[in-house]
Chains A and B, each alone.
Chain A
Amino acid sequence: MVFSTTLFVFLFLPLFLLGYYLLPFRWRSAWILLASYAFYGWWRVDFLALIILTSLWTDFFGRIIARSLRTKPQQARLALGLGVALNLLTLAYFKYADFGIDSLNAIVELLGGSGFGNANVILPIGISFYIFQASSYLIDIYRQDARPADNILDLAAYIALFPQLIAGPILRYKTLSQQFRRRSHSFAAFNEGSLRFMTGFCKKVLIADSVAPLANASFALAAPSMADAWLGTLAYSVQLYFDFSGYSDMAIGLGLMMGFRFPENFDHPYISKSISEFWRRWHISLSTWLRDYLYVPLGGNRLGRRRTYVNLLLVMLLGGLWHGAAWTFVLWGAWHGLMLALERHYHENQQGNATQGNAAQGNTTRNQLPRWLAVWQTARTMLIVMLGWVTFRAVDFSGAMAVYAGMLGLQGLAISEALAWQLSYFSLLMLGLALLLIYLSPWLRRCWQPLPSPSLSSPSTPWQTASETSVAAVSGGMSGWLATLELLIIPLFALSVLRLAANTFSPFLYFQF
């Protein structure tokens, strides 16, 4: 099932929330689990078995780890190894078996032999996400960052939690464990969740789905011109961001409606001034997962410069492969790994030990940089990211090369006839609005520091003096005006629902990860 469908918003979600709030707290995990399995099984009931099995063996190994951690650390280590290996082998089989066979066949055929038959394995949706979550549960238990789940229901509900099951954010059990045991439900949280859900919905349906045809048409051209290639890449960059961040917003919003607070997954990544900064703003849950469970165990930056570069490259290669079973994703990961390593190398050489950590992390603030430099760095980073998205989006290597050739103007300059008739005014308008939103909304957020929303329980605000009261009233007026602006989401959401009801099925890009 997908959030941006009328079935979800008109039937599944109201029924779920009705049941959730009618049930006592002790039954809510079971209700979440039931609903999540129904949500997942909507795609294929038979693959529910895999997610159930994953939950069962994760629980089994988690209990062994917790029991033997103090008394038999080797047994705990073994259980951790087995549990994580089983998870990763499952992922490897379902996601990479056919990729591996195809790659092997290519080599065998090159050497004159005949290849092997494909396994034709069905890729379970969301497997990359729930396997990572299950693995992080075992690792967090081993590292004593979290207690094991009180019961199998809580663990299964954590793994299958439907708001984030299909496309993240990747949640750590240590973040949610307390919330499964105790969380508060308030209208304020529901309100915040509603606003967040509606925002994500608009991003997906109004923007991402509108620019998608531009990207699709451009990437379908065999020999795109310069204008085709750049327009298509820009459209895809916008589509991917609004699709994925829109989904994350909806997931976070749904979580809030249930009293869960999920971590943020995107933080205006396209204003980044370096690739390092980009990875602190894009798919944050994945980048932190890779950092904590892969980069740091490999040694991180503690084993010398060369090893650091190797670790960065390796982590990004695997990160690329995580996104999809194709060499184009590996290339995309390699591109980012290379950029991260180069940035680190450049800053370490240029700025010396004193500012090594800060500069390599691109922490230079807007106030310290001249404006032209900040703009240049943002534009350069965006260019690097867009060049990477070409490989990410292309069907194969030759397709990516065709787009790069187009970008360089080797296949003509102006918009090609094959694309021209497909340029919808509406898509172009949404593309323009999206670019404005990308670069204006961080500035708007900085300008607006909202007053805390007055709660039902404490209506009086402890302002001490009359002048403070006056300032607060004026500020409250300003925040009220800006809060009103944010309420534009409501009619935009209504418009999105209208569009959804009018149009066809609207799946998410990260659906098959």
Chain B
Amino acid sequence: MIEPVSEQMLARTRFKFQLITWLPGAFMLLFLAAGLLMSLLNTATYRLPSEEKLWDGSMAAAYQADFEDNIALRPWALETWTWLSYSLFQEGQPGVLIGDAGWLFTSEEFHYHPNEAEIIAQRLAYVAEVQTLLAEQGIALAIVLVPAKARIYYRRLGRYHYPSYAQVRYAQLLEAIQALGIIAPDIAEAMQQDKEAQPMFLQTDSHWTPQGAQVAAAALASSLTQAELRLPQERFVREYQASRRYPGDLLRFVPLGRWQKASSLRRDTIPVYQTRRTEARNVGLFDEVTIPVSLVGTSYSADDAWHFAGALQASLQSDVLNMALPARGPFEPMRAYLASDTFSQSPPQLVVWEIPERYFPMAEITPDNAKANGGNAPQLLP
């Protein structure tokens, strides 16, 4: 039999029920008030983009992007969501794969391209075009095909598996390049042999280490010797200066902020090198001095943190002019170099073209289309 309840208990139950059922509305009011306050304190709220047009929505889009980037909640939200994603699922933002023990890999090395064969054929056709153009002027071409980081450090991939369609890529590309008669050392093999002794790639960055760049430079020098290509000799010495901490570019895809100390992700430490000339070339007083080697490529060459140009100087014992450009991919810098006054007025004897393997089957990367393709996600521009 159910006991009758008192009016007091009924009133208490009713009151509690009221409180519970009205929480959503009360919360929403507080939420909207807090949101409005945050917006009024956001300086971007009062900034109108002046370069964009009102009619076609570009001004509104620019305003919104500025507003959202500057909202006070965003950094905290980004760090906290990343922390939840990282600690619960070992995942970061789209674009990064988190391997074992703090190793990060770019997902670009894993992408499957349905029309890969067609794009690679187009790229190789362009490479052949470049080779022909250079050969007509008596200039040799050498390609440094940079292997994917996942290829060298596949054991650090954790739960991921380096796909078979990517595994065969390097060998196939190298064979195709060599078949064109271009000097192209097997950098992957050289790195595999040396990776236990010294790091070839950074842990939290997509780029090679200065040691990896040195291995590539030495492999190229060996190939040039085998090809009997003689360059004007100068003495260069590559010297270790110091070590420094380096925040890898892939850490931008795992923006843990204040939570990073609690994670296994650490900044890399890289050696800093300097290469200096110790003995100049023996040239006549009225001889024209041109730099015999031009280096064209991506951030792997342009960024002196990896010191690839210096490593080349030391390995080839010849001067190198660095014409590499970051954030343009490997093909745009070559187009820019061949169209430049530097090339037309001071053609080298040898062009060293550094190409990361993952960019062969990809669409051309520019800062404009990178943003269009990836929205507001961090971009990894080579």
Could you list which residues of chain A lie within 8 angstroms of chain B, going by C-beta atoms?
5-7, 9-11, 13-15, 17-18, 41-46, 187, 190-192, 194-195, 197-198, 213, 220-222, 417-418, 420-422, 424-426, 429, 451, 453-454, 459, 461, 466-467, 469-474, 476-477, 479-480, 483-484, 487, 489-490, 497-505
Contact = CB atoms under 8 A, between A and B. Distances in A.
Given A10-B71, A42-B57, A195-B25, 12 more contacts: A13-B35, A14-B32, A45-B60, A190-B28, A213-B94, A421-B161, A424-B91, A425-B91, A426-B89, A473-B9, A473-B13, A501-B74
B252 to A, nearest CB: 14
Contact of B22 (A10, A18, A187): A187
Given A43-B57, A45-B57, A425-B89, A417 B23 contact: no
Interface residues of B, number: 63
B80 interface: yes
B171 interface: no
Contacts, number: 174
A503 B91 CA distance: 14
A484 B57 contact: no
A466 to B, nearest CB: 3
Contacts of A470: 2-5
B81 interface: yes
Of all A-B residue pairs in the complex, the 9 with the closest CB atoms, nearest first, are A191-B25, A466-B4, A10-B35, A418-B112, A501-B77, A194-B28, A14-B36, A502-B81, A417-B163
B14 A503 contact: no
A195 B376 contact: no
A498 B80 contact: yes
A44 B59 CA distance: 9
Interface in B61-114: 64, 67-68, 71, 73-74, 77-78, 80-82, 85, 88-91, 94, 97, 107, 110, 112, 114
Contacts of B164: 417
B17 A10 contact: no
B135 interface: no
Given A6-B73, A483-B17, A421 B110 contact: yes
Contacts of B18: 453-454
A195 to B, nearest CB: 4
A7 B67 contact: yes
Interface of B: 2-5, 9-10, 13-14, 16-18, 20-28, 31-33, 35-36, 38-39, 45, 54-57, 60, 64, 67-68, 71, 73-74, 77-78, 80-82, 85, 88-91, 94, 97, 107, 110, 112, 114, 160-161, 163-165, 375-377
Contact of B4 (A187, A454, A469): A469
A500 B212 CA distance: 39
Given A15-B36, A190-B25, A479-B17, A7 B64 contact: yes
- Most chain A beta carbons < 10 A, residue from B5, B25, B26, B45: B25
A221 B26 CA distance: 47
22 contacts: A11-B67, A14-B39, A15-B36, A41-B60, A42-B57, A44-B56, A45-B54, A45-B57, A46-B56, A190-B28, A220-B114, A221-B114, A222-B114, A417-B112, A421-B163, A453-B18, A454-B17, A470-B3, A480-B20, A484-B20, A499-B81, A502-B74
Contacts of A417: 112, 161, 163-165
A194 B27 contact: yes
Contacts of A461: 14
B45 A11 contact: yes
Contact of B107 (A421, A476, A497): A421
Contact of B25 (A10, A14, A187): A187
Please report whether the interface of chain B is mostly helix, strand, loop or mixed according to DSSP: helix
Contacts of B376: 504-505
Contacts of A14: 32-33, 35-36, 39
Contacts of A5: 64, 68
B184 to A, nearest CB: 27
A461 B14 CA distance: 9
Contacts of A424: 89, 91
- Most chain A beta carbons < 10 A, residue from B27, B74, B82, B114: B27
Nearest to A428: B89
Contact of B60 (A10, A42, A198, A490): A42
A490 B24 contact: yes
Contact of A480 (B16, B82, B377): B16
A98 B24 CA distance: 46
B21 A426 contact: no
Contacts of B91: 424-426
A9 B35 contact: yes
A483 to B, nearest CB: 5
Contacts of A426: 85, 88-89, 91
Nearest to A220: B114
B77 A498 contact: yes
A46 B55 contact: yes
A499 B16 CA distance: 32
A503 B4 CA distance: 54
Nearest to B27: A490
Contacts of A17: 32
Contacts of A13: 32, 35
Contacts of B33: 14
Contacts of A499: 77, 81
Contacts of A501: 68, 71, 73-74, 77-78
B80 to A, nearest CB: 6
B57 A418 contact: no
Contacts of A480: 13, 16-17, 20
A198 B97 CA distance: 32
Contacts of A187: 22, 25
Contacts of A41: 60
B165 A418 contact: yes
B23 A498 contact: no
- Most chain B beta carbons < 10 A, residue from A11, A41, A222, A425: A11
A487 B24 contact: yes
- Most chain B beta carbons < 10 A, residue from A15, A194, A426, A497: A194
B2 A474 contact: yes
Nearest to A43: B57
Given A222-B114, A470-B5, A11 B35 contact: yes
A453 B68 CA distance: 38
Nearest to B90: A425
Nearest to A451: B17
Contact of A191 (B22, B57, B80): B22
A487 B20 contact: yes
